[in-house]
Amino acid sequence: MLTYQIDAKDHCRRMDSFMRNLLPTAQFSYLKKLISSGHVKVNGSPVEAAQLLRFADQVTLKESSKTAAFLARLTPELDILFEDSWIISLNKAPGLSVHRTEDPDEVNLVDLAEALLQKRDGVGRLRPVNRLDKGTSGAIILAKSAVAAGMFGKMVQEEGLGKLYLALVEGKLQKQGVIDAPLDGKESQTSYLRLFHGGGVSLLAVYPITGRMHQIRQHFKMIGHPILGDKRYGGRALTGFTGHALHSFKTTLVHPATREEVNIPAPLSEQLMRLVSRYSAVSEKDLLDTMHQLPAAGPLPA
């Protein structure tokens, strides 16, 4: 029996995401079979693919020669949050562009993901379904075909994505509020909930009600509480931190092929966890407990 103890970097991760990163070259059917047959357990109990793991959970996997052949020898280069035959969702690192840029030598997420799928499956043409700014981390969804891109693009326009972000901002805000301020002449609203405050900063759960470009970053600048590290919109520079302190934590969608609701959480990086603890003086345990309890947002049209 193989045993794994869940640490902070896997807190709030889906079970199928944990298995995909543990066995990165295994076929979908094999991973599905391991979970559905009860060969994978959490704290001694059977588990479902969408179940979220928590800090200190114990995951056990029935050992076999086939499983051993699929085990990752090194930490995978990309963190896969969800994958099926239609899409792959990745936990984008801050400072990494989604698309190719004017600099042909700059690394980007699409190229890295296509290389991963090409090596694993022999195919690898991907098309982004949603967007994240270069400095923002968290869940990004890539379609595996033109058909999938069309289906998911229509879903985003008509039904939308539910988005929950975590943001570390300057100053102390009221416990909760809604920022209602037009951007580029269009109605724009952002709801937030203050989770912790200390050291002159606040950690917020942020729910964008509309989906304008740079909406969260602009809105918090407008009310005098810019996001840390976001120099473009008035945030203080962060030494040794890539990007800014904004993370796309939970994404919810209605799958256009299956009509099932899919929740895709993106665990925080160790770098962001340290930043939150350093500035807001919140303990790791309190932060992890709070993250687990936060409700995802329902899908909203773009």
Q: Is 118 helix (H, G, I), strand (E, B) or coil?
A: helix
pTM value is 0.93
Mean of the per-residue pLDDT values of the chain:
91
The pLDDT tens digits for 11-36 are 999 999 999 999 988 887 889 899 99
Tell me, what's the pLDDT at 300? 53
| Count of alpha carbons within 13 angstroms of residue 100, beta-carbon side | 7
User: Would you say 153 and 161 are in contact if contact means Cβ atoms under 8 Å apart?
Assistant: no
DSSP of 12-55, one letter per residue? T-BHHHHHHHHSTTS-HHHHHHHHHTT-EEETTEE--TTPBP-T
CA distance 225 to 171: 6
Instruction: Give the bridge partners for 55, in sequence order.
Output: none
Residue positions counted in the chain? 302
> Given a cut of 90, is residue 76 above it in pLDDT?
no
The structural domains of the chain, with segments of one domain joined by +, span 1-76, 161-293
Q: Which two tokens stand for residue 194?
A: 């203050």
Which residues, including other chains, have CB under 8 Å from residue 289's CB and lie 6 or more apart? none
For residue 11, the Cα-to-chain-centroid distance in whole angstroms is 12
User: Would you say 72 and 21 are in contact if contact means Cβ atoms under 8 Å apart?
Assistant: yes
Closest CA to 294 of 52, 80, 65: 52
CA distance 289 to 286: 5
Q: Which two tokens stand for residue 135?
A: 């400095």
Q: What is the mean pLDDT of residues 127-146?
A: 94
> Given a cut of 60, is residue 137 above it in pLDDT?
yes
Evaluate whether the domain defined by 1-76 bears CATH number 2.160.10.10: no
- Percent helix, strand and coil across the chain, each to the nearest 5: 30, 30, 45
> Given a cut of 60, is residue 88 above it in pLDDT?
yes
The pLDDT tens digits for 262-279 are 999 999 988 888 888 888
Q: Which two tokens stand for residue 239?
A: 């030494």
Fold of 161-293: Pseudouridine synthase (3.30.2350)
CA distance 244 to 170: 12
Stated as kind and residue range, the H or E segment containing 221 is: helix 215-222
The pLDDT tens digits for 35-61 are 999 999 999 999 999 999 999 999 999
The pLDDT tens digits for 222-266 are 999 999 999 999 999 998 888 999 999 999 999 999 999 999 999
CA distance 37 to 91: 28
Closest CA to 245 of 137, 104, 86: 137
User: Would you say 135 and 230 are in contact if contact means Cβ atoms under 8 Å apart?
Assistant: yes
> Given a cut of 50, is residue 302 above it in pLDDT?
no
Rounded to 5°, angle at Cα 110 from 91 and 128? 80
> Given a cut of 70, is residue 3 above it in pLDDT?
yes
